Chain A
Amino acid sequence: MATHEEISASLQSFYEGYQKNNKLKLMNRDWNRIIIIRASDIDSQHTLTLQNGELSVTRGAPDQNADLVVTSDSETLADLFYGDITPTEPYMNGTLVIQGSENDILRLDFISLMIWGE
């Protein structure tokens, strides 16, 4: 079981990967979304906010409704945002549950692919 701190660190790693990729920022400039990341086995919640191509990570829930809600166990979330596993495998075996529109889910997968590669 990963800790809340580990998930925060993995999201920080994800954030840094995103910041290094200017092309990704440009591609997401019109994709403004609020994404909740929550662990199912520990009390841990984070919010990813994409606004005009800029990404920010905050602890806790947002003060408005989200576009996507990503739920999984803490281990999977930490591995996922460090890029050690692809989202597809836990998604296909049901460990990772995402609520939101199919296009948004696909976009999130694309972002992960562009940051971490295959």
Chain B
Amino acid sequence: MNLKLKKVLTMRTIVATSAGLTLSSSTFVAAVQVAGFLAGDAAWLAILTGGLLCTTAALCFGELNGMTPSAAGIRLYFSRAYNDRISLIVSMLYMVVVMGVIGAESYVLARVLNEVWPSVPALVWILAMFSIVTVLNVLGIKIAGGFQNVLTYGLVLSMLAFAFIALAKVNFQLTSPFASGGSIGLVNAVALGVFLFVGFEWVTPLAEEVTHHRMVSKGMLLAIGILSVTYALFTIAMTATTPRETLAGSPIPHLIFARSILSDAGVTWMVAITLAASITTFNAGLISVSRFVYSSAREHVLPPLLSKISMRFFTPWTAILAIFLIGLAISITVLITHQYLVMVNIAAAMESIIYALAGLAVIRLRGKMPEADRPFRIPGGYIIPGICTLVFTGLALAVFASFPIVLLYIALGLLICTWYVNVVVPELKRRYQIQKAAAKPPRRLMAQKKSKSD
């Protein structure tokens, strides 16, 4: 039986995609916030701990993805582990949060570009970025694997180069590597440190484009390892060479750092890094959300208008346009309120909830479907999924305790999504069934009847 595919992805591209989707301009802001929770040079400790905890989530996603290699991702995993309703509520809320991350991302990028070209207002940059990415999406232009490799590995090397140049410049000595200044600060720093890795699991839809599903699991782990080291070094370099209070109060700490290290050349280099980091996150975020919206409309859980396709480019243009409008509204709101950090914290909490649910999903599915084929099974029984569930539940609670407004927003989002799934979705499905029954009798049944009468 010939089941080989013509095109398959390499491990290099899987790692680049996983790390590339994670690297964004907002991560520089988050890295400074992580350092802000800690005394001394202990930021690396929180980042590496965050990375280590994310590996437990990566292992859980690896097992889930091996069982059901599908671009549907958490929508499918959670549907099997819990039920379709919970899966839909969580997926919808998560997609809204991803839109929020795009809002924060566009704000940071617009501020960076506005800093370099002050005569152009930040709103113009946001409009331009959204328009470009939307047009690319409607045209169906995706970042190719080779280009993604160049972008990601170029970004990682640039960040490491910046870190080493900065550390060499001040002749850096690690004097207080474990002085975290207290356990509460460390827990909060780790919780926010998780945000630095947000999106590593977005690589799981590529499971349909590989021949060995273990590759995706290994790719995620490698990406987290590379990112942990890169972030730790970059954050230490930033806080060791630039006053923390200057960095903490700014949405563009990486630009301030670059200017202090390499003057104008540093600024140019950092603008290029920021653009590259944002393009991948921005594009991937819009693709993920628009595909989710399209498939949800096809599944009759969103209005059918959102399943329209472009006859020329074979892309879901109404879904993309809807995301353009929502994303723009969120970005403008962030621009007016300057509440980008709230978005970062909401994303950190939501990501922790998703990871905790993924850990629990592994445990539940082992009970519900013990015989199911698992190309990748986490070793050590329930220990790693258990740790993942408990730790990420704790981290989500830590974010809520530190930022009660985040709890309020997530609870509100959960209520709205629950109402939508319980009230609107059944109505949409009912209408579809009526329409379907009136429009066409089952063709298979008709064919069977015809065959019998013949």
A99 interface residue per 8 A CB criterion? yes
CA distance A73 to B4 in the complex (A): 20
Kindly list chain A residues whose C-beta atoms are within 8 Å of the C-beta of B68: 94, 97
Determine whether the beta carbon of B309 is less than 8 Å from that of A113.
yes
| Residue in contact with B5 in the complex, picked from A92, A99, A118, CB distance below 8 Å | A99
Determine whether the beta carbon of B70 is less than 8 Å from that of A97.
yes
Question: Distance (Å) between the CB of B286 and the closest chain A CB?
Answer: 14
Kindly list chain B residues whose C-beta atoms are within 8 Å of the C-beta of A82: 442-444, 447
Per-position contact with B for A107-118: 1 when CB-CB < 8 Å, else 0? 101100100011
Determine whether the beta carbon of B6 is less than 8 Å from that of A79.
no
Kindly list chain B residues whose C-beta atoms are within 8 Å of the C-beta of A98: 208
A13 interface residue per 8 A CB criterion? yes
Question: Distance (Å) between the CB of B77 and the closest chain A CB?
Answer: 9
Once A13-B447, A102-B209 are accepted as A-B contacts, the answer to whether A69 and B3 lie under 8 Å apart by CB is yes
Of residues 367 through 404 on chain B, the ones whose CB sits less than 8 Å from some CB of chain A are: none
| Residue in contact with A92 in the complex, picked from B1, B76, B445, CB distance below 8 Å | B76
B452 interface residue per 8 A CB criterion? no
Per-position contact with A for B1-36: 1 when CB-CB < 8 Å, else 0? 111111100000000000000000000000000000
Determine whether the beta carbon of A61 is less than 8 Å from that of B2.
yes
CA distance A61 to B4 in the complex (A): 11
B142 interface residue per 8 A CB criterion? yes
Determine whether the beta carbon of B208 is less than 8 Å from that of A102.
yes
A103 interface residue per 8 A CB criterion? yes
- Across the two chains, which residue of chain B brings its CB closest to A23? B311
Once A69-B3, A92-B75, A118-B304 are accepted as A-B contacts, the answer to whether A103 and B444 lie under 8 Å apart by CB is no
Of residues 83 through 108 on chain A, the ones whose CB sits less than 8 Å from some CB of chain B are: 83-84, 86, 88-89, 91-94, 97-103, 105-107
Determine whether the beta carbon of B6 is less than 8 Å from that of A65.
yes
Once A9-B447, A100-B208 are accepted as A-B contacts, the answer to whether A118 and B6 lie under 8 Å apart by CB is no
- Across the two chains, which residue of chain A brings its CB closest to B446? A82
Determine whether the beta carbon of B298 is less than 8 Å from that of A88.
yes
Task: Please indicate which of the listed interface residues A61, A67, A88 has the most CB atoms of chain B within 10 Å of its own CB.
Answer: A88
Number of interface residues of A (CB under 8 A): 45
Question: Distance (Å) between the CB of A52 and the closest chain B CB?
Answer: 17
CA distance A113 to B75 in the complex (A): 22
B124 interface residue per 8 A CB criterion? no
| Residue in contact with B314 in the complex, picked from A34, A88, A107, CB distance below 8 Å | A107
B218 interface residue per 8 A CB criterion? no
CA distance A92 to B377 in the complex (A): 23
Question: Distance (Å) between the CB of A58 and the closest chain B CB?
Answer: 13
B217 interface residue per 8 A CB criterion? no
- Across the two chains, which residue of chain A brings its CB closest to B88? A92
Determine whether the beta carbon of B299 is less than 8 Å from that of A89.
yes
Once A94-B68, A103-B142 are accepted as A-B contacts, the answer to whether A65 and B442 lie under 8 Å apart by CB is no
Determine whether the beta carbon of A106 is less than 8 Å from that of B314.
yes
Question: Distance (Å) between the CB of B340 and the closest chain A CB?
Answer: 30
Question: Distance (Å) between the CB of A15 and the closest chain B CB?
Answer: 13
Kindly list chain A residues whose C-beta atoms are within 8 Å of the C-beta of B142: 103
CA distance A103 to B139 in the complex (A): 12
- Across the two chains, which residue of chain B brings its CB closest to A33? B6
B119 interface residue per 8 A CB criterion? no
B80 interface residue per 8 A CB criterion? yes
A36 interface residue per 8 A CB criterion? yes
Kindly list chain A residues whose C-beta atoms are within 8 Å of the C-beta of B436: 118
- Across the two chains, which residue of chain A brings its CB closest to B69? A97
- Across the two chains, which residue of chain B brings its CB closest to A88? B298
A49 interface residue per 8 A CB criterion? no
Determine whether the beta carbon of A100 is less than 8 Å from that of B311.
no
A51 interface residue per 8 A CB criterion? no
Determine whether the beta carbon of B1 is less than 8 Å from that of A88.
no
Of residues 404 through 454 on chain B, the ones whose CB sits less than 8 Å from some CB of chain A are: 432, 435-436, 439-440, 442-445, 447, 451
Q: Nearest 4 pairs between A and B by C-beta?
A: A88-B298, A82-B443, A82-B444, A65-B4
21 contacts between A and B (CB under 8 A): A10-B444, A45-B1, A65-B5, A66-B3, A66-B4, A67-B6, A68-B5, A69-B3, A69-B5, A82-B444, A84-B442, A84-B444, A86-B298, A89-B299, A92-B295, A94-B68, A94-B70, A102-B206, A107-B314, A109-B298, A118-B436
A interface, CB within 8 angstroms of B: 6, 9-10, 13, 23, 27, 34, 36, 45, 61-69, 78-79, 82-84, 86, 88-89, 91-94, 97-103, 105-107, 109-110, 113, 117-118
Q: Given contact pairs A61-B1, A99-B69, enumerate 11 new A-B contacts (beta carbons under 8 Å).
A: A36-B2, A65-B6, A82-B447, A86-B299, A92-B79, A93-B79, A94-B68, A102-B205, A103-B142, A103-B314, A113-B307
